[in-house]
Amino acid sequence: MSAIRILGKKQSGHCGYCNSNNFKTIGVVCEKMKPSDYEEMMLLGWRRCGDYYYKPDIQNSCCKLNTIRCDAVNFQMHKKQRKVMNKFNNYLQGTKPPNQNKRQQRTAKKHMIQIPSEFKNLVVKNVTETMLNYNLEYQENCAQVTMNSPKKAAQYGNYTLNSPLVISSAAKKKGLQVNLEELSQHLASLLEKDFQNTSWSVINTQKGFINIKEEGKVNEEVKPDLSMEESGEPHTYSWKIVQDDFSEESYQLYKKYQIAIHKDPPSKLSESQYTNFLCQSSLVREQPSESNKLGLGSFHILHYIDSKLFAVGVLDILPSGISSVYFFYDPEYSFLSPGVWGAVQEIMLVSSNSYKYYYMGYFIETCQKMRYKAEYLPSELLCPQKCIWVPVQDCLKDKSHGFLSLHQTNQETSQQSKNPSMDTSNIDIESFIYSNAKILIQNTVVPLNVINERGQAILKDILTDLLEALGKSLFQKLIFSV
């Protein structure tokens, strides 16, 4: 049986998607989890990170995290995805691609520019504070930092922010009157306070822009290295699936990816951080069988070009499909669009091994980085109110549902009943908890009703929350420990 350690009631915390502090979840730590039980949890909106399992409180959180899955058996590539796959195949065959256009060159440069994470964090902090003054929710594009070219840096400083313009535009859409000059000066003064005892300083504000100088830094022209892309030589590709154990080769690639793509400071990318994040799974492995050709549990799929590791997909293989946990790659291969390529490869892995679904985690309509998942069709979103699946295209046609009552967007799903396991209207909740909760105490499993009154009082409210999040079926299966 699967065993979980109770952490407590729903809590509020920092949201990594909009940078507010109103992200609410209920979470547990799992010491041992059957893949079939985890799949059942995913079908109710849960996800895992290492051995931590969590379910967002969508009703009360800042961002609406909707579970999304793709029907891999009926997957159809659209033009953009076919173009990426063709580009990869052409690269392997040694076919020279056409010259990059200006937009592609800017994208290649963007991956190579290193903006200090400490600087970006200060910008995000102060932009968020400024927006709260206007009752506006923080959006990622409100704190974009531009590193100026050497020529512009001499006139405008090393970095430029257009945050006042973006905030002003957002305020006007809500009917608020904002003085752009006053807004710019206010944000600049906040930044100056945090820039004390650092190498950064605000030079000036001009027409909604804030220009910032970094002492001792000279901006250099960054030119993308296109030598790999334009080599015109054939290459070999291979892949293999391995258990999710720590690997120095994968760890070094992970660090390279996080620093270049996500601008993470190297000091935070320790072996233990990588292991806890991507190698520490509590899913119990099950051997391959006729119905599960790859086996069940957590795995890494390693992708090689010319025998060099260039990408790693972290996967949970479950009875009905494959869940994508994380994907990272060598930034030197960014010209091949590895993110799109990797997702299509994993979808093909699902269908070619007689599985049905490709689980992509959460779709967040308000977050640019998470909206791409709706491009893999046909896909469905999990309705958080009924815990039933709704075609994603129906959900995006009319957004008046606020990504809560998704079932209303489709005539068929609007008539469906709530997932039976999540319907507690036909039971006495207190009696159900006392009759079905199994508590692990000193390696012994006991029913809740044999614990003393003080222990029962502590656990009752927590288990009530868990029943609401897990449903009746899972609640009866799991063993709880404190």
For residue 282, give the CATH number of its domain. Answer: 3.40.630
What confidence tier does 109 reach under pLDDT thresholds 50, 70, 90?
Answer: very low
Question: 174-199 pLDDT, tens per residue?
Answer: 888 889 999 999 999 999 999 998 99
Identify the weakest region by mean pLDDT among 120-129, 244-253, 311-320: 120-129
Mean pLDDT across 356-361: 97
For residue 147, what are the β-bridge partners? 159
Query: What amino acid occupies position 66?
Result: N
Averaged pLDDT of the chain: 89
Among 238, 354, 237, CA closest to 295: 354
Q: 1 near 478, Cβ under 8 Å?
A: yes
CA dihedral 465, 401, 426, 449 (to 10 degrees): 0
Last residue of a domain, one of 361, 381, 414: 361
What pLDDT does 67 receive? Answer: 97
State the residue range of the domain holding 344.
Answer: 73-104+225-361
Mean pLDDT across 115-127: 86
Q: Based on the fold, state whether residues 236 and 191 are members of the same structural domain.
A: no
pLDDT exceeds cutoff 90 at 301 = yes
What pLDDT does 111 receive? Answer: 43
* Proportion of the chain above pLDDT 90, given as a percent: 62
Mean pLDDT across 160-184: 89
Neighbours of 360 (CB within 10 A): 21
- Looking at residue 166, which CATH number applies to its domain? 3.30.1360
Per-residue tokens: 425: 């209207």
pLDDT exceeds cutoff 50 at 108 = no
In a domain, 174, yes or no: yes
Q: Based on the fold, state whether residues 207 and 328 are members of the same structural domain.
A: no
Mean pLDDT across 69-84: 96
> Where are the strands (E) in 81-157, listed by range?
145-147
Q: What angle do CA 167, 169, 175 make, to 5 degrees?
A: 105
Question: 376-397 pLDDT, tens per residue?
Answer: 999 999 999 999 999 999 999 9
Distance CA 233, CA 244 (A): 33
pLDDT exceeds cutoff 90 at 306 = yes
Q: Give every CB contact of residue 373 below 8 A, 6+ residues apart in sequence.
A: 68, 360, 361, 363, 379
Q: Based on the fold, state whether residues 187 and 266 are members of the same structural domain.
A: no
In a domain, 37, yes or no: no
Identify the weakest region by mean pLDDT among 5-9, 40-44, 240-244, 266-270: 5-9
Q: Based on the fold, state whether residues 262 and 194 are members of the same structural domain.
A: no
Mean pLDDT across 128-145: 82
Q: Based on the fold, state whether residues 177 and 307 are members of the same structural domain.
A: no
In a domain, 207, yes or no: yes
Last residue of a domain, one of 316, 344, 361: 361
In a domain, 437, yes or no: no
Q: Give every CB contact of residue 103 below 8 A, 6+ residues apart in sequence.
A: none
Q: 53 near 26, Cβ under 8 Å?
A: no
Q: Based on the fold, state whether residues 230 and 189 are members of the same structural domain.
A: no
What confidence tier does 95 reach under pLDDT thresholds 50, 70, 90?
Answer: confident
What pLDDT does 114 receive? Answer: 65
Distance CA 134, CA 137 (A): 9
Last residue of a domain, one of 361, 380, 415: 361
What pLDDT does 327 receive? Answer: 98
What pLDDT does 18 receive? Answer: 83
Residues 191-225 as b/e (b if ≥16 CB within 10 A, e otherwise) read beeebeeeebebbebeebbbbbbbeeeebeeeebe
State pTM to two decimals. Answer: 0.75
Between 191 and 227, name the one with better pLDDT.
191
Task: Tell me, letter by letter, the H, E, C secondary structure of 383-448.
Answer: CCCCCCEEEHHHHHHCCCCCCCCHHHHCHHHHCCCCCHHHCCCCCCHHHHHHHHCEEEECCEEEEH
Q: What is the CA radius of gyration of the chain?
A: 25
Q: Based on the fold, state whether residues 302 and 239 are members of the same structural domain.
A: yes
In a domain, 468, yes or no: no
Q: Based on the fold, state whether residues 87 and 233 are members of the same structural domain.
A: yes
For the chain, the first-to-last Cα distance in angstroms comes to 17
Q: Based on the fold, state whether residues 77 and 186 are members of the same structural domain.
A: no
Question: 14-41 pLDDT, tens per residue?
Answer: 888 888 888 889 999 998 899 999 999 9
List Cα–Cα distances, 91 to 233, 363, 383, in angstroms: 8, 31, 41
Q: Based on the fold, state whether residues 151 and 205 are members of the same structural domain.
A: yes
In a domain, 411, yes or no: no
* CA 3 remoteness from chain centre: 25
pLDDT exceeds cutoff 80 at 89 = yes
Q: Based on the fold, state whether residues 127 and 152 are members of the same structural domain.
A: yes
In a domain, 49, yes or no: no
What pLDDT does 477 receive? Answer: 92
pLDDT exceeds cutoff 90 at 103 = no
pLDDT exceeds cutoff 90 at 453 = no
In a domain, 203, yes or no: yes
pLDDT exceeds cutoff 90 at 278 = yes
CA dihedral 303, 306, 310, 316 (to 10 degrees): 10
What is the total count of domains within the chain? Answer: 2
Q: Based on the fold, state whether residues 187 and 125 are members of the same structural domain.
A: yes
What pLDDT does 247 receive? Answer: 96
Q: 274 near 330, Cβ under 8 Å?
A: no
Per-residue tokens: 311: 């990408």
Question: 48-62 pLDDT, tens per residue?
Answer: 999 999 999 998 889
